[in-house]
Structure 1
Amino acid sequence: MARSTGKTVFGTWVGFVIVLVWCLLPVAWIISLSFKPLAETNAGSPQFFPKNATWQNYKDILSNDDFLYALRNSFCIAIIATVLAVIFATLAAYAIARLDFKGKRLVLSLALAIAMFPVVSLVSPLFDMWRTFHLFNTWPGLIIPYMTFTLPLAIWTLSAFFREIPWEMEQAAQVDGATPWQAFRKVIVPLAAPGVFTAAILTFFFAWNEFVLAISLTSTTSARTVPAQMSFFVGSDPFNPPYGQLATASVIVTIPIVILVLLFQRKIVAGLTSGAVKG
């Protein structure tokens, strides 16, 4: 029995190591590539570690005004879209979880259908509409579609949390003199904090990494985000793109995501687990 248990533990660790290497090897390669000089990347160096490691790629990227403008746009657009989506999703999810009205299942089904709708199919109509409404190449021109695609997922996540919270707690707060809005804000929302954090993180991830809308609905660096701006990184000729700078930019834009995941990993796991069980 002990030998069988030891084999199981050993097999588990072997599988864990294989999955870890499989997932992290591309990340390690990108980090290594970001420290390689231009001559080494143009030569098609097959070695994993750089021969002459350098910080020049990071210096060039952080001194690139277009990249810094795109980084500012990404932060501001992602944060604004996240805040607005979480606010609207919280109110909508609370109404769906607490109120009984006709068409509740239809609303949830439509929300799920919107979340699964292919983004690329909306590029052409959005392009024409945004030019007509003067929203092309603006922050609102990206924030609005980002909210459209992130709200359904946020509503599904938060509605699962609101359904778990006992109705008696809200009633007790109202008996103690709290208004419905005070009971919602001071009792319900704090208890649903893991779901709120999960919805916020997922919304931020989508807005931070989105490429199709960002490249199609912008034309200058005034509203272009980092994923779209990276497609404009070109080298001396089309056959020698600046791989080192592309890898460096990828590392820089990944750092905020890693920090957010490390800070809120428990709340993210709690939110996703609850949504899977109760949703």
Structure 2
Amino acid sequence: MSTLTQTSTEHAAAAKNVALRRNRWASSRTYISAAIIVIWCLLPFYWMVVTAFRDVGYTFDPTPFFTHVTLDNFATAFSSEMGNHLDRALLNSLFISGVTTVVALLFGIFAAYALARLNFRGKFLVLGLILGASMFPGVAIVTPLFQLFTNINWVGTYQAMIIPNISFVLPLTVYTLTSFFREMPWELEEAARIDGCTAGQAFRKVIMPLAAPAVFTTAILAFIAAWNEYLIASILSNDATQTVTVAIASFAGSQPHQEPYTAVMAAGTVVTIPLVVLVLIFQRKIVSGLTAGAVK
């Protein structure tokens, strides 16, 4: 009897060791996979920052570290003498992206709430049209937009870039918020109505505070999408209204007929770092907004 007990104990211990080894291997594979993905995604950004601080004469130096460090590239990026108006382009992008985000949220919140909470004829058709608009290629409407805005003298104005940006960002806003409003329990709104709130008061005092994480996440996604837009801005902007994406593409270097790689990298660093810092600061709100409504 003792022999059988000892054998069963040994088998149980062996099975436990096998399970532990499997769990350790599974955890190791998870960490290795995550590390590979992180390195793959951050390596171009890291190389951009390294090149931004590198002397022009060592642009193609294969050393993957901060060698021959200089700040002249940032001065070149902001140099108006060379035609690089990065400071003005930053303000233009900030204004265009900010207005686009505010307008898209203003219309997107009400549209998403109506699609998620109200029953009306053609509801799914409207949602399908919105999703179809989000997949519509922007290059297909560049020529019509240019002709239209030329006829009304809008080329080179802010509204010529804000209105197309809204048309691209609004479907993203509506789709993201619709999925959140759809999972929000009706009981909260009904309780507010029973307590004497009108439909508008229930929406403003109950629904919107609960939807704040999703709205905040949607705002960041919409702002980044508008900030990174290049196609429309490259056609409809001029020297006074061009965005950072267009300004960087038209950079001039310190030497004629020479591509200013280091200045472009410096400008890319200036443009990218604020977005990265913004996401890192508000990452908890972003995660909570993306996962809001996932569990009823």
TM-score (norm 2): 0.87
Q: Once the 2 structures are TM-superposed, how far is the Cα of residue 63 of structure 1 from its aligned partner? A: 4.7
Identify the residue that residue 33 of structure 2 maps to in structure 1: 15
How far residue 266 of structure 1 moved from its aligned partner, in angstroms, is 2.5
CA RMSD in angstroms, aligned pairs only: 1.7
Distance 1:255 1:186 in 2: 36
Verify the 8 A CA contact 2:193 2:199 in the aligned structure 1: yes
Q: Report if aligned partners of 1:86, 1:200 keep a CA contact under 8 Å in 2.
A: yes
Distance 1:176 1:274 in 2: 26
The residue that corresponds to 1:198 in the other structure is: 217
Q: Answer whether contact 2:78 2:85 (CA < 8 A) is retained.
A: no
Deviates more, 1:258-267 or 1:155-164: 258-267
2:63 pairs with 1:47:
yes
* Cα drift, residue 26 of structure 1: 0.9
The alignment of Structure 1 onto Structure 2 pairs a total of residues equal to: 273
- Correspondence for 2:123: 104
Q: Which residue of 1 aligns with 2:44?
A: 26
Per-residue CA deviation, residues 66-108 of structure 1 (Å, 9 max, x unaligned), is 1111000001110110011011000111111121111000000
Deviation at 1:274, TM superposition (A): 4.7
What displacement does 1:219 show?
A: 2.1
1:74 and 1:142 map into 2 onto residues whose CA distance is 10
Deviates more, 1:158-167 or 1:260-269: 260-269
Of the three residues 137, 141, 151, the one matched with 2:170 is: 151
Query: Retained in 1: the 8 A contact 2:233–2:243?
Result: yes
Aligned to 1:224: 242
Deviations 1:5-45 (A, max 9, x none): 2222222222222222111111111100001112222xx32
Are the counterparts in 1 of residues 77 and 264 from structure 2 also a CA contact under 8 Å? no
Q: Distance in 2 between matches of 1:103 and 1:267?
A: 34
Q: Distance in 1 between matches of 2:156 and 2:176?
A: 31
Q: 1:267 & 1:128 partners in 2: Cα distance?
A: 42
Answering whether residue 252 of structure 2 is matched by residue 234 of structure 1, we say yes
What SS does the aligned partner of 1:192 have? Answer: helix
**Superposed displacement of residue 153, structure 1:** 1.4
Partner of 1:58: 74
C-alpha displacement of 1:269: 2.6
Alignment deviations for residues 134-192 of structure 1 (CA, whole Å, 9 cap, x no partner): 22111111111111011111111111111122222222223323222121111111111
Identical-pair percentage: 44
Give yes or no for contact 2:77–2:266 (8 Å, CA) kept in 1.
yes
> Which residue in the other structure is 1:134 paired with?
153
Residue 75 and residue 183 in structure 1: after superposition, are their counterparts in 2 closer, same or farther (change >3 A)? same
SS in 2 for 1:51: coil
Out of 247, 253, 257, which is 2:275 matched to?
Answer: 257
Q: Does the alignment pair 1:212 with 2:231?
A: yes
* Cα distance in 1 between the residues matched to 2:272 and 2:154: 28
Q: Residue 282 of structure 2: SS of its match in structure 1?
A: helix
Query: 1:201-248, CA deviations, whole angstroms, 9 ceiling, x for partnerless residues?
Result: 11101110111111011122x21100011111133344x311111001
- 1:260 Cα deviation after fit: 2.0
The answer on whether the counterparts of 1:142 and 1:217 sit within 8 Å (CA) in structure 2 is yes
What is the CA-CA distance between 1:57 and the residue it aligns to? 1.4
Mark the structure with the bigger radius of gyration.
2
Task: Name the residue aligned to 1:163.
Answer: 182
CA contact (8 A) 1:160 1:274 kept: no
- Tell whether the 8 Å contact from 1:137 to 1:223 is kept in structure 2 after alignment: yes
Q: Which amino acid aligns with 2:282?
A: F
Match of 2:94 in 1: 75
After TM superposition, give the deviation of residue 267 of structure 1 in Å: 2.9
**Per-residue deviation, 1:50:** 4.3
Which stretch shifts more, 203-212 or 160-169? 160-169
CA contact (8 A) 1:67 1:229 kept: yes
